[in-house]
């Protein structure tokens, strides 16, 4: 891949500005629906990083934004009654650690091939759960034990690969009976952060994080995530849910076309 002019060494300021802008957008997308990785990862590839370092740096850059976004949604998170936030936190931590171990010992090619299907599946479940007739939604809802098992499996995936994890979490929450999109987004941000934390430790230990690119992006994702989360709570939830479905459908189509 040829490196664009803005990413060459003599244009470090321009490179940092463009990567920061990409991180702001990525953080905002993560707060609204998910998919921020699919903005930051290509930007880092264009900046000249190899795919492994770009993936690692992207994950680290978006990590602070998960918690700034969750902080903006804190009141909605405290109102959650459909699931045990504490249990889901522990499941996400354990699943994320298992996923990180798998990351170090198995190739990602198989999981990368599943990403388009997982994204499409998650978007479809989310759409049905939020726009289908109530009778259909009631039939799809999971009980407490199946919900915990589903959350554990999603957590392993999040620690291992993480592509489309926001859509999978929102879809899972829909099956768990949640309907408040602000509470769902807030819980999604916390759990995604917990899942990816273990993977980040592995990336840092392996020296795969390119810090000159990552640090300004981390600041950008923190700002973008918080601002988007703050203003999203003032919007009609139907518009946000519709955005999730449209964006998820577009991502699915792109991944089937170009791959991950």
pLDDT digits (tens, 9 = 90+) for 20-42: 999 999 899 888 877 788 788 88
Do 77 and 182 meet the contact criterion of CB atoms below 8 Å apart?
no
Residues of the domain holding 155: 5-258
160 pLDDT more than 80? no
Diameter over CA atoms, the chain: 61
Confidence of residue 214 (pLDDT cuts 50, 70, 90): very high
pLDDT at 4: 63
79 pLDDT more than 80? yes
Neighbours of 251 (CB within 10 A): 24
Neighbours of 198 (CB within 10 A): 22
Q: In this predicted model, which residue has the larger pLDDT, 106 or 208?
A: 208
pLDDT at 91: 92
pLDDT at 3: 58
pLDDT at 220: 95
Model's pTM, two decimal places?
0.74
d(CA 101, CA 155): 13
pLDDT at 20: 94
Q: In this predicted model, which residue has the larger pLDDT, 187 or 260?
A: 187
Neighbours of 39 (CB within 10 A): 22
- Among residues 59, 50, 55, the alpha carbon closest in space to that of 30 is found at 59
Mean pLDDT of 220-231: 91
| Percentage of residues in the chain having pLDDT higher than 90 | 14
Confidence of residue 139 (pLDDT cuts 50, 70, 90): low
Task: Give me 129's structure tokens.
Answer: 């759960």
pLDDT at 31: 83
pLDDT at 60: 92
98 pLDDT more than 80? yes
Residue keyed to tokens 């957008």: 25
pLDDT at 238: 78
Cα-based distances in Å from 150 to 75, 88, 110, 139, 156: 25, 10, 20, 16, 10
d(CA 113, CA 256): 9
Task: Give me 120's structure tokens.
Answer: 């499409």
Mean pLDDT of 147-168: 80
Query: Looking at the 3D structure of the chain, how many domains does it have?
Result: 1
pLDDT at 7: 58
Per the prediction, the chain carries an average pLDDT of 81
Q: Name, in order, each residue with C-beta under 8 angstroms of 143's C-beta and a sequence gap of 6 or more.
A: none
Residue 207 three-state SS? coil
260 pLDDT more than 70? no
- Among residues 110, 220, 89, 208, the alpha carbon closest in space to that of 155 is found at 89
pLDDT at 166: 76
d(CA 251, CA 214): 24
Confidence of residue 45 (pLDDT cuts 50, 70, 90): confident
- Among residues 255, 260, 215, 214, the alpha carbon closest in space to that of 56 is found at 214
| pLDDT tens per residue, range 56-73 | 899 899 999 988 888 888
d(CA 206, CA 183): 35
pLDDT at 216: 93
pLDDT at 138: 58
d(CA 207, CA 197): 16
């Amino acid at each position: 891949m040829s490196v664009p002019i803005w990413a060459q060494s003599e244009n470090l300021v321009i490179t940092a500005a463009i990567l920061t802008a990409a991180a702001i957008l990525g953080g905002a997308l993560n707060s609204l629906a998910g998919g921020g990785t699919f903005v930051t990862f290509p930007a880092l590839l264009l900046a000249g990083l190899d795919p492994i370092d770009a993936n690692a740096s992207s994950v680290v850059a978006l990590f602070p934004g998960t918690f700034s976004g969750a902080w903006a949604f804190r009141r909605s998170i405290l109102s959650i009654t459909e699931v045990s936030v504490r249990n889901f936190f522990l499941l996400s931590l354990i699943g994320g650690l298992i996923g990180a171990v798998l990351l170090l010992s198995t190739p990602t090619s198989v999981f990368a091939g599943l990403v388009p299907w997982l994204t499409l599946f998650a978007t479809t479940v989310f759409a049905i759960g939020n726009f289908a007739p109530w009778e259909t939604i009631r039939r799809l809802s999971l009980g407490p034990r199946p919900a915990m098992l589903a959350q554990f499996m999603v957590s392993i995936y999040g620690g291992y690969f993480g592509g489309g994890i926001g859509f999978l979490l929102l879809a899972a929450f829909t099956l768990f009976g949640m309907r408040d999109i602000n509470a769902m987004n807030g819980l999604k941000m916390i759990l995604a952060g917990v899942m990816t934390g273990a993977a980040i430790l592995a990336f840092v230990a392996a020296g795969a994080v390119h810090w000159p690119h990552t640090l300004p992006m981390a600041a950008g994702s923190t700002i973008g995530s918080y601002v988007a989360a703050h203003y999203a709570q003032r919007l009609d939830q139907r518009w946000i849910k519709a955005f999730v479905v449209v964006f998820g459908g577009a991502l699915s189509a792109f991944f089937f076309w170009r791959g991950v």
